Structure 1
Amino acid sequence: MEKRISYWFLLGLAAWGLIILLRQAGIYIPVINNYFTDCITVPMYCYLIEYLMNNVLGYHWKPDLKFVLTSVLYLSFLFEILCPRLSGNFTGDLFDALAYSAGGMVYYFMKVKPLETE
């Protein structure tokens, strides 16, 4: 079992870090700030759960479509419905939920679906 962290995951973390630094410097790139971060959230979340389940807890688990879809629903509910009601720092946006969905589908068709066909 591979215990190394994916380069794609590390690249996503680096992208998030760069975006946070740009925001702190007052540099705001609308599409990247608004939708790119949401689009990579579900793939990074799904990968992290899979990594923790398999490499930290020792299970032999593979995500499926139901897991990806419930991850999209969970993150959409959390960040687009619940958090905006609790804090003014969050805004609920349908396009963000669509970005979560797009990221989830990219993860499913690039990472999960090829595993089922082998």
Structure 2
Amino acid sequence: MWVQHYLDDLLCLPLVLTATLFVLRFFYGQRVRLSSYHVAFTVLYFSLAFEVFFPQFMPRYTGDFLDAVLYATGGVIFYRFLNK
């Protein structure tokens, strides 16, 4: 059950930020890296959008604090291991 409901939240930001870094490197060169501020902003943005704002207006979404924690964990994983 954990894999079915929470793995996508854990993997969301590493995938999104890796794709973003790929595009940035295509245009600006291989030395581009995302700063901790970029990663923190993305974590905050995803957490607020998908756990606070969307659940208020769309019944498809439900707010869950654990999802926000998993977004933050995914951001840390990206920043620590994939942002090279």
TM-score greater than 0.5 by the shorter chain: yes
8 Å CA contact 2:18–2:82 kept in 1: the answer is no
* Equivalent residue, structure 2, for 1:38: 9
- CA shift, 1:86, in A, is 1.6
* Equivalent residue, structure 2, for 1:111: 82
C-alpha root-mean-square deviation of aligned residues, in Å? 1.1
Between the two proteins, what is the percent identity of the paired residues? 26
For residues 79 and 90 of structure 1, the distance between their equivalents in structure 2, rounded to whole angstroms, comes to 7
Q: Show CA shifts across 1:80-110 (max 9, x none).
A: 0111112100000000000001111111111
Alignment of 1:23-34 (within 5 A): 30-34=1-5
Structure 1 alignment gaps of length 5 or more: 1-29
Corresponding residue to 1:69 among 22, 29, 40: 40
Report how many aligned residue pairs link the two structures.
Answer: 82
* Equivalent residue, structure 1, for 2:21: 50
Q: Normalising to structure 1: TM-score of the pair?
A: 0.65
Corresponding residue to 2:28 among 53, 59, 70: 59
Q: Normalising to structure 2: TM-score of the pair?
A: 0.89
The aligned amino acid for 2:41 is T
| Runs of 4+ that moved beyond 6 A | none
Structure 2 alignment gaps of length 5 or more: none
- CA shift, 1:53, in A, is 1.6
Q: Which has the higher contact order (CA 8 A, sep 6+)?
A: 2
Query: Is 1:80 the counterpart of 2:51 in the alignment?
Result: yes
- CA shift, 1:52, in A, is 1.4
Q: Which has the larger radius of gyration?
A: 1
